[in-house]
Structure 1
Amino acid sequence: MNLTNAKIQNYNKQVGLKFQLYNSLFTALPFHRVEKTGVLLSTFLLHCEEGYNKQQSPVEIIDTFFQQYTSYQNEQEQIDLLFRFVQYAERQVVLFDAVEDAAFGDIYDLNGIGTLKHLQSEVLHSNKRAQLAEKLKDFSVRLVLTAHPTQFYPSEVLGIINDLSNAIIRDNTAEVNSFLQQLGKTPFFKKEKPTPYDEAVNLIWFLQNRFYPAAGRIMSNFKNQFQEEVNEENPLIRLGFWPGGDRDGNPYVKVNTTLKVAAELRTGILNAYYIDVHQLKSRLTFKGVSNVVASLEEKIHQNLSDPNHHADLTKEEIISTLKQIRTTLMEQHNGLFQEMVENLLRKVELFGLYFATLDIRQDSSVHSELMAEIAQHSSALPDNYTELSEAEKIDALLNIQETLDPSIFENELFRDTLETISAIKTIQKRNGENGCHRYIISHSTSALDVMHVYGLFKLGGWKTDELKVDIVPLFESIEDLRNAAKVMKTLYENEAYRKHLSKRNNIQTIMVGFSDGTKDGGYLMANFSIYKAKEALTQISKEYGIQVVFFDGRGGPPARGGGRTHQFYASLGSNIANKEIQLTIQGQTISSNFGTVDSAQFNMEQLMHAGISNALFYSDKLTQTKEEDDLLLSLSEKSYEAYNALKNHPGFLEYLNEVSPLRYYGQANIGSRPSKRKPGKLNLDDLRAVPYVGSWSQLKQNLPGYYGVGIALEKLEAEGKWEEVRQLYQSSLFFKTLMDNCEMAMCKSFFPLTAFLAEHPKYGALWTLIHEEFQRTKTQMLKLAGTTHLMEDKPINRLSIQMRQRIELPLLTIQQYALNKIREVREGGSDSESANMNVYEKMVVRCSFGIINAGRNSA
């Protein structure tokens, strides 16, 4: 038996068979007046599969199902059954998640390739301990949790998944049965949108229960392996946090939210420390340490019970106390339980009293409008500020001599923007500088956008030589990425900004975003533009003696820059700075990659290994040669041309709005942010990337993850360059990773679902255009990889996707059925259909939950 077959058999045993067992138990549970809903759902699934094989539409499939398998003639009875199907199917997804989580340690080699155990053997084998010590002086992996709504589980359901997984690990069928019953009765739908504070609290649960223990375990193991090389002054793992600080397009994030979330983060880490110290207290009952532990526990308790005690406790005091305890254990008690103290010490070194750095983010346009307002209503800026050139505006900002009182503004957004500047200082005082030290500017297009924020800090009362904040431009559109190096050159040559950077250790963090880049330029062009921008920014930063750190705005699915992210970092050579690895972790990626302590540890280690091994073993290797770059540029330009033609098709947005659930994203109440940046008529610029990509995903067309790739490959083949492309695929891990993630996007597509649109008078031409490109890309991809199936070299991921697709097929069918009914009503349907319009809209939204959650293995 070969290794691939063994892996598949193991996956089928650990996941497939267990899911079948528990699913049969689940579908037999009677949650409704009508018995055997679960049994009928199984029949409906088979009917769907047969129907699509016969090229039937979702409407035909559902109509024939009611005729053949039920006695329901009444429309209301039929609707009720479909809603029951939705309720069962979305909970089957939860069950599958729990089974897969429980099997993680059996499916993946937790000490294999890409782990720190593997790194240890590589370092020792190649005698690179000195190089490792040098790298660890300033290297870190920063995972920034965002509340981007790509997951639909309420916190109650996340708790059930956790308990269900543990029961499955223990093979406790009675407990599993109880949790399944709880699952059946727990609502998935939220009547109200969560507030940014709600989002923060939900994610702090992950910080405490997943990242905290996993990071502690990683650092304890790593310190044991490389005691001299690990630098205690440099946290190798850093966590970032956006809920409560990310204002970009979210009118519900206010300064009081920011302060409240920062306080919650501090409380969250103190709670975690308190639990660990309490466990220490129950073990360290010896002379000379018991009283010290008890005193530390009491001090942490005081800080938790009385917020006014926040000045009484510092990170340094906790570390000093733990080191004192460790010394006493070593000298007087033979090091008994010393590993418990070491584990807590590593965590305090990582997380201090802030847990995760709360980033502030706002759109550049808000700052521009605010500065124009300031010029009109104060003497801080000249009256004619808006008429000045960019260079003159920057001079005016540098010459600000006064502090502004935010209350002078009636506009709440302007007032909040200035108040936030003061709030950063408050958070730093309470949580430490790492509690909040980054201000990210969305849609950065010029040096002025950065200097606007620099000016805001002056207006907010910060002295320039005491400004302990990193100003981080975010370049995202194709044009902005192309101009990024020029923008940074202007900033590096500005004396005042250069002085600010010197106070920040001559380190400049630059964020590059994938989501809007993909929406703007298509899959290949977005990824290539980011790669070239990083290359140019690395070069210009070196020229000016600045250490650049890249912060990647990656998302869950490949179309949002996700997929196998550690492969991207492993592919980067010496032409792109890799001092740190920083990326956003959002939505379903949080639960899929970090949903258990084992998976969190595994995926953090993969990223750490990618960054460290690159520096140790591939520091002289370029990501790609000039010839490879030129070839990828040619592919990207051809892909961009094809994607642009589609994007500018007059019916493109209407197609997406009418045949996908795009217009209903806001009704799902899964995130606090609106689905559009600005109210009014739908346009691509204002449409957020999450609903854009998510709608294509629910349509099972996944267009942003591959469109244009097939055309580009086909054109290069016609130019006689196929062998060069094949060589690129084999020699460039960067290009191979791009293609792997493209395969994943296609593997999750299912065009039979919408094949009925091919004959639609309005949408038929667009559907055919998209389907043809899917088939073209698939053909070219299989030829390039030399395989017969998509994702053939990743059998476990492929199998997981296939199993999830079977679970979601009834949901997809019901959603398209409901969307079709809605279109019929809009086109002048019957009175009974009009009466059920709201019901069908609710059906679309309810189906979205299970469909999106089923795609959690997108990264």
Structure 2
Amino acid sequence: MPIPETDSADDKDQPLRADIRLLGRLLGDTVREQEGEAVFAVVERIRQASVRFDRESAREDALPAVAPADEASRAELAQLLNKLPRETMLSVVRAFSYFLHLANIAEDQHHIRRRRAHELQGSPAREGSLEHSLARVVAAGVPLARLREFFTVAQVSPVLTAHPTEVSRKSILQAQHEIARLLDGRDRMQLTAGERADNERSLRRAVLTLWRTRMLRPSRLAVVDEINNGISHYESTFFSELPRLYGELEELLARSFPGEDWDLPPFLRIGSWIGGDRDGNPFVTADILRSALRLQSAAVFDFYLHEVHALGGELSLSQLLVPVSPALAELAERSPDHSPHRADEPYRRALTGIYARLAATARALDQHASERVPLGAAPPYADSADFLADLGTIAASLREHGAALLADGRLRRLRRAVQVFGFHLAPLDLRQNSDVHERCVAELLASAGRLPTPDAYSRLGEEERIALLAAEIASPRPLYSPLLAGVELSRATADELAIFFAARELRARYGAAALPNVIISKTDGASDLLEVALLLKEAGLLVAGETPSLAMNIIPLFETIDDLRRSAAVMAQLFALPVWRALIASRDDEQEVMLGYSDSNKDGGFLTSGWELYKAEVALTETCARHGVRLRLFHGRGGSVGRGGGPSYQAILAQPDGAVSGQIRITEQGEVIASKYAHPEVGRRNLEILAAATLEATLLAREQETDPAPLRAVMETLSQHAYRAYRGLVYETPGFDRYFRESTPISEIAELNIGSRPASRKPSQRIEDLRAIPWVFSWSQCRLMIPGWYGFGSAVEAFLAGHPDGLATLRRMYRSWPFFRSLLSNMDMVLAKTDIGIASRYAELVTDLELRDAVFARIAGEHARTRRHLLAIEETDCLLADNPSLRRSIRNRFPYMDPLNHLQIELLRRHREHAGEIDERARRGIHMTINGIAAGLRNSG
């Protein structure tokens, strides 16, 4: 299955093309050997027909409708695909899906190759690297004190979340990792002919393993499975690459500021929601929360024990040849290792003692047994700070006696890991919907006699609720005690309280950093935050009194368009409450606010969502500054542009002035987690980008319009027009929900065993109740990507109608305003992946012909307007003109994605025509096409 010939690539891309050809050839050989010559011949005919169709359709310049010249190739392709026997069809789906997975591996390796080539050639530091960002900071004359202040307050945290768009099984990912490792070996080393042949045989074995490994899960993932999947990225990437990145940054700082000592605080950490996110997921319970922390802790102890054991093998220094510090000597004396063979090796004896204490700690915290039995008994560590102190004793002794080089290797990285990961691995957030908190608080107030019934609370106005809640928070009296006779809570309320009581227990066991945050989904008023404060008080995590203290951050999540518009007013109302201001003071005057990209997009469309998020950030920044509170924004972004995705570096630099201020958290969701962090070097690069962008956004003045007010007025006008267009289609068109469910594989996606939570928040067919993730994922599968562009064309057209010089204004906005440029750049990428011709075939699945024709005509017309106006503003004649490598990548994928889309349509039709008769093979085929198309798009959910 060779890569199709397209526009000639630069010489630097030839190794990529060679790798893809190699992997395609090995996959083709595997299909021939395992499925037979006849199946291989079918795959090749389909591939060749698809390549011809792709070339003839001239996608970059095609109009929304399918051109007549394309019909012959399309008909040939459809004829080949539609008459396939079921089993052959499944083999074809697997072949094209795996080719797309292999192409992804080759592209990731090529990014690594190009980065190494730049470094070997001594090229200037690239944009997005810490070296480039630090050079800009130095060139701008930022004072050293200001730079040190940045690192003192900085917090940069990608947060892993469990969402159902990661469609690859862990077994598949492991086989892919092996292929990546073997490709890397071919690239980095000069192999002999025999070594190269061995490498190719190993690649053949890995491809065969991939082919013979089941692509789909037989049952839905449990939350514990999601927790383990998340932990696997620490084992593959974060344990090794985070400490390495810190070391590189400290060395860069030392070179940039000679004579200065740099020991950075752990400002870059990986967070998690997996096992703490209860919103819409009834399977996350107090016991699951305990399991999440136990599994995380066990993983980090396994890593520490391995590293300490390895250090013992490395630090064989003899006291007969080099002196040691008194503190190190004392540490060695406390060790249970009394072997005469190591009597003169104090570092080894000290490490044996540390290993024994670590093993004892793992047993005490998690009943977790170490792989190697310690040499003797030792007391457990009280906390990770004690462990870090012992490692510091070893490092100090090495430095004092001429062995700093040894202190700066594995030991330095381990010390940094302990600072970052502690004994808990990752800070785990709790999240729940505000409606659930409201019901819980209402029942507690009624059970304590503060209200006659739970319903009485729902009838209170917002001001009345605030007054009642503020009084209860200030009171030391609890609302509920399990010892009170005759008071019994509902199961739902008891389960919610159990989460908070478990949080108090787990914080005492693993440390406060293990569970630092409570996030409130669907926040729309100040009472939502006060309700959580009251629940924390019930669990002993808020202490009332003259100087109240709050143990966890309470974080509102503003999601809908209306909620974003009210967000600053809600926070101002809270800061004006003495009880809340006192609680924030106990949290070092910091307030975190989370902004929802996904639901705001589903609510108001791409353009309005982006603009309302921007305005909310400006207003929240001003509000917090006015009240003397440091704001930290948490961006709830997904993988796709429709859910806030896109390049992280540009997204952070496009934030309003003052909105970053050294602190930023960003969700990493779905298939993007594996794409960004499964490979160690790719993972380190993505972490570096986040840190570099935060550094620049905080310390460097941005190039902004001298007077942005007129541009903001233009953006407001565009947003209003786009909002009307989007809402008019999605929420005001009769039957649109039916069109969506019939023209996309949403029902089949809901059946996939790719996540532990349901696709909808409520058991209904309403789009309002559907989660944003399957909403976006479904439109991606049928290649329409509506959440990433719909409404923009109508907005520009309406604006130009009233402004004769409007195009010049929009072009100036694009050139001078990073926010607007980032918005359009992301839309450009989405449109490049959109295929209106293929989408028209999905529309044929809609059984109501009048509805089908009316809705698709509107979508196709808006697509044409959007594309035309985008290219006019960017002053180019093709999409992705400024990113030719991505353009080639997408173009090269089309011939392998198109057959999957055609087969998915045919399988959907067959499956739905026989809805009463479950055909497992058809269902399996649909699910495999979903997997393959997601792999081809890469950021689809």
State TM-score, norm by structure 1. Answer: 0.93
Partner residue of 2:414 out of 323, 327, 344: 344
Partner of 1:844: 926
Partner of 2:356: 298
Partner of 1:355: 425
Residues of 2 paired with 1:823 and 1:298: CA distance? Answer: 61
Partner of 1:630: 713
Write out per-residue CA displacement over residues 724-746 of structure 1, whole angstroms, 9 at most, x where no aligned residue: 11100000111101000001111
Amino acid at match of 1:665: I
Amino acid at match of 1:398: A
TM-superposed deviation, 1:389? 2.7
Q: 1:330 to 1:623 in 2, by over 3 A?
A: farther
Residues of 1 paired with 2:908 and 2:253: CA distance? Answer: 58
Residues of 2 paired with 1:303 and 1:405: CA distance? Answer: 33
Write out per-residue CA displacement over residues 68-96 of structure 1, whole angstroms, 9 at most, x where no aligned residue: xxxxxxx7x71111111112222222222
Partner residue of 2:386 out of 290, 301, 317: 317
Residues of 2 paired with 1:455 and 1:229: CA distance? Answer: 47
Partner residue of 1:198 out of 217, 225, 229: 225
TM-superposed deviation, 1:820? 2.8
Q: 1:308 to 1:741 in 2, by over 3 A?
A: closer
- Aligned pairs for 1:487-506 (under 5 A) are 487-506=570-589
Q: CA RMSD in A?
A: 2.6
TM-superposed deviation, 1:107? 3.1
TM-superposed deviation, 1:229? 7.2
TM-superposed deviation, 1:637? 1.0
Q: 1:621 to 1:784 in 2, by over 3 A?
A: closer
Q: Does 1:183 align with 2:210?
A: yes
Partner of 1:693: 776
- Aligned pairs for 1:552-567 (under 5 A) are 552-567=635-650
TM-superposed deviation, 1:173? 0.9
TM-superposed deviation, 1:46? 2.6
Residues of 1 paired with 2:536 and 2:594: CA distance? Answer: 20
CA contact (8 A) 1:573 1:620 kept: no
Partner of 2:301: 270
Of the structure 1 ranges 429-438 and 523-532, higher mean CA displacement relative to structure 2 is found in 429-438
Q: Which SS does the other structure have where 2:931 is aligned?
A: helix
CA contact (8 A) 2:557 2:594 kept: yes
Partner residue of 1:426 out of 494, 505, 521: 505
Write out per-residue CA displacement over residues 781-829 of structure 1, whole angstroms, 9 at most, x where no aligned residue: 1111122221111122222222333322221110011223345557xxx
Partner of 1:70: none
Partner residue of 1:143 out of 158, 161, 165: 158
Of the structure 1 ranges 405-414 and 630-639, higher mean CA displacement relative to structure 2 is found in 405-414
Residues of 2 paired with 1:580 and 1:301: CA distance? Answer: 35
TM-superposed deviation, 1:856? 1.6
Partner of 1:113: 127
Write out per-residue CA displacement over residues 217-267 of structure 1, whole angstroms, 9 at most, x where no aligned residue: 110111223258787573220211011000110111111001110111122
Partner residue of 1:537 out of 605, 614, 620: 620
Write out per-residue CA displacement over residues 124-177 of structure 1, whole angstroms, 9 at most, x where no aligned residue: 444433321121110121110001122211111111111110011113211111
Of the structure 1 ranges 664-673 and 84-93, higher mean CA displacement relative to structure 2 is found in 84-93
Partner residue of 2:666 out of 566, 577, 583: 583
Q: Does 1:749 align with 2:838?
A: no
Following superposition, which runs of at least 4 residues in structure 1 exceed 6 angstroms of deviation? 228-231
Partner of 2:190: none
Partner of 2:520: 441
Residues of 2 paired with 1:396 and 1:148: CA distance? Answer: 37
CA contact (8 A) 2:250 2:263 kept: no
Amino acid at match of 1:416: D
Write out per-residue CA displacement over residues 11-40 of structure 1, whole angstroms, 9 at most, x where no aligned residue: 632322211112111112146554352442
CA contact (8 A) 1:239 1:357 kept: yes
Q: Does 1:801 align with 2:870?
A: no
Partner of 1:414: 493
Of the structure 1 ranges 232-241 and 138-147, higher mean CA displacement relative to structure 2 is found in 232-241
Partner of 1:734: 819
Residues of 1 paired with 2:169 and 2:707: CA distance? Answer: 43
Write out per-residue CA displacement over residues 548-569 of structure 1, whole angstroms, 9 at most, x where no aligned residue: 1100000101100001122121
Amino acid at match of 2:723: Y
Partner of 2:852: 763
CA contact (8 A) 1:538 1:577 kept: no
Residues of 2 paired with 1:656 and 1:448: CA distance? Answer: 36
TM-superposed deviation, 1:768? 1.6
Partner of 1:247: 278
Residues of 2 paired with 1:260 and 1:551: CA distance? Answer: 26
Residues of 2 paired with 1:573 and 1:43: CA distance? Answer: 52
Q: 1:609 to 1:483 in 2, by over 3 A?
A: same
Of the structure 1 ranges 192-201 and 56-65, higher mean CA displacement relative to structure 2 is found in 56-65
CA contact (8 A) 2:504 2:540 kept: no
Q: Which SS does the other structure have where 2:760 is aligned?
A: coil
CA contact (8 A) 2:221 2:754 kept: yes
Amino acid at match of 2:634: F
Partner of 1:260: 291
Q: Number of aligned pairs? A: 839
Q: 1:398 to 1:749 in 2, by over 3 A?
A: same
Q: 1:576 to 1:432 in 2, by over 3 A?
A: same
Of the structure 1 ranges 543-552 and 597-606, higher mean CA displacement relative to structure 2 is found in 597-606
CA contact (8 A) 2:283 2:756 kept: yes
Residues of 2 paired with 1:428 and 1:231: CA distance? Answer: 31
Amino acid at match of 1:13: Q
CA contact (8 A) 1:642 1:708 kept: yes
Structure 1: 5+ residue runs without aligned partners?
A: 68-74, 827-833
Residues of 2 paired with 1:479 and 1:563: CA distance? Answer: 24
Partner of 1:677: 761
Fraction of identical pairs, as percent: 27
TM-superposed deviation, 1:59? 9.8
CA contact (8 A) 2:633 2:664 kept: yes
Residues of 1 paired with 2:639 and 2:444: CA distance? Answer: 39
Residues of 1 paired with 2:741 and 2:367: CA distance? Answer: 53
Partner residue of 2:810 out of 710, 725, 732: 725
Q: Which SS does the other structure have where 2:271 is aligned?
A: strand
Q: 1:268 to 1:641 in 2, by over 3 A?
A: same
Partner of 2:60: none
Residues of 1 paired with 2:46 and 2:566: CA distance? Answer: 53
Partner of 1:664: 748
Q: Does 1:326 align with 2:410?
A: no
Write out per-residue CA displacement over residues 523-572 of structure 1, whole angstroms, 9 at most, x where no aligned residue: 01001000101111111111111111100000101100001122121123
Partner of 2:374: none
Of the structure 1 ranges 284-293 and 756-765, higher mean CA displacement relative to structure 2 is found in 756-765
Partner of 2:563: 480
Residues of 2 paired with 1:819 and 1:668: CA distance? Answer: 14
Amino acid at match of 2:478: E
Residues of 2 paired with 1:623 and 1:357: CA distance? Answer: 41
Residues of 1 paired with 2:609 and 2:646: CA distance? Answer: 15
Partner residue of 2:871 out of 782, 788, 795: 782
Q: 1:792 to 1:322 in 2, by over 3 A?
A: same
Q: Does 1:166 align with 2:181?
A: yes
Q: Which SS does the other structure have where 2:529 is aligned?
A: helix
Partner residue of 2:466 out of 387, 394, 402: 394
CA contact (8 A) 1:573 1:621 kept: no
Write out per-residue CA displacement over residues 766-792 of structure 1, whole angstroms, 9 at most, x where no aligned residue: 112111111211111111112222111
Write out per-residue CA displacement over residues 340-372 of structure 1, whole angstroms, 9 at most, x where no aligned residue: 222222222222222211000000011112222
Of the structure 1 ranges 204-213 and 756-765, higher mean CA displacement relative to structure 2 is found in 756-765
Residues of 2 paired with 1:60 and 1:761: CA distance? Answer: 24
Of the structure 1 ranges 271-280 and 540-549, higher mean CA displacement relative to structure 2 is found in 271-280
Q: Which SS does the other structure have where 1:372 is aligned?
A: helix
Write out per-residue CA displacement over residues 569-611 of structure 1, whole angstroms, 9 at most, x where no aligned residue: 1123435343312100011211222232211121221121111
Partner of 1:14: 15
Amino acid at match of 2:203: V
Q: 1:547 to 1:413 in 2, by over 3 A?
A: same
Q: Which SS does the other structure have where 1:600 is aligned?
A: helix
Of the structure 1 ranges 405-414 and 422-431, higher mean CA displacement relative to structure 2 is found in 405-414
